[in-house]
A = this chain, B = another copy of it.
Amino acid sequence: MPRQRDVHAQRELLSNATWQVLADDGLPGLTLRAVAERAGCTTGLVMHAFPTKKALLLHARDLLYERTAVRADAAEAACSSAPDALAAVLGQAVDLPHGHHEESRVWVGFLAAALADEDLAERHRAANRSFLARVRRLVAACRPEWTDERLELATKSLVALVEGMNVLAAADPRTYPARLQQAALAEALAVFTPPGRSGGDKRSG
């Protein structure tokens, strides 16, 4: 057996390059050649690591979901109470001050691609539903007395607020700075913070 390279590492590298191209040049600029150039290789390697461009996109999408899930797990595990965990999970989903604010651009790119590709759309839905389930579980832990209907409404409202902030900030970061996103999230979470806690700087009024 001659030389053998780590295919998994190659795919990860190419998926990262895909994100970078998507963040910098947008969906129209997402070309196999652009990805290859970003990854420091040629299209030959890309087509050997993935059978087709669509497979590359699906892998990059899956890897993005995987990493956000890991990040959400970590944020959740670092908290002891359910309200804290809810705030942490949603807080790391919106744009962070020093963080991955390219991620929203990548997310929008994948979303636009999903509107034209059913397989990508299925991954998108699965990822969003997974996030919804996580938030719903935490919301339910905060408000066990709520009905399912109310639970679902609150969960989807929170997620819509977070994703809306992300999407709007992707195209207009100055109008939706990270500080404002966190403040809006804190206000929306005021219902779930137990009374007497100084979790967010939100005065009830």
B171 and A165 within 8 A (CB)? no
How far apart are A179's CB and chain B's nearest CB, in angstroms?
A: 10
Closest chain B residue to A157 by CB distance? B184
Kindly identify, within residues 103 to 144 of chain A, every residue whose CB is under 8 Å from any CB belonging to chain B. Answer: 105, 108-109, 111-117, 121, 124-125, 128-129, 132
The answer for the CA separation of A67 and B191 in the assembled complex, in Å, is: 37
Q: Within 8 Å of chain B (Cβ to Cβ): is A91?
A: no
Q: Which residues of B lie under 8 Å from residue A153 when comparing CB positions?
A: 180, 183-184, 187
Q: How far is the CA of A113 from the CA of B159 in the complex (A)?
A: 24
Chain B, Cβ-Cβ closest to A181: B160
> How far, in angstroms, from A25 to B170 measured CA to CA in the complex?
23
Chain B residues, CB < 8 A from A112? 26-27, 108-109, 111-112
User: Does any Cβ of B come within 8 Å of A198's Cβ?
Assistant: no
CB nearest neighbor in B for A109: B112
User: Beyond A27-B28, A153-B183, A161-B161, is A105–B115 a contact (Cβ under 8 Å)?
Assistant: yes
A163 lies within 8 A of B157 (CB) = no
Q: How many Å lie between the Cα of A108 and that of B27 in the bound state? A: 12
Residue of B nearest to A29 (CB): B116
A-B contact pairs, 22 of them (CB 8 A): A25-B116, A26-B112, A26-B115, A26-B116, A27-B112, A27-B116, A28-B113, A29-B116, A105-B115, A108-B111, A111-B112, A124-B171, A129-B175, A152-B180, A153-B183, A156-B165, A157-B161, A160-B160, A160-B161, A160-B184, A163-B167, A164-B164
Given contacts A156-B180, A157-B188, A160-B184, 16 further A-B contacts (CB under 8 A): A25-B116, A26-B115, A27-B116, A109-B115, A111-B167, A112-B112, A124-B171, A124-B172, A125-B175, A128-B168, A129-B172, A156-B176, A160-B161, A160-B165, A161-B161, A163-B168
Interface residues of A (CB under 8 A from B): 25-29, 105, 108-109, 111-117, 121, 124-125, 128-129, 132, 152-153, 156-157, 159-165, 167-168, 170-172, 175-176, 180, 183-184, 187-188
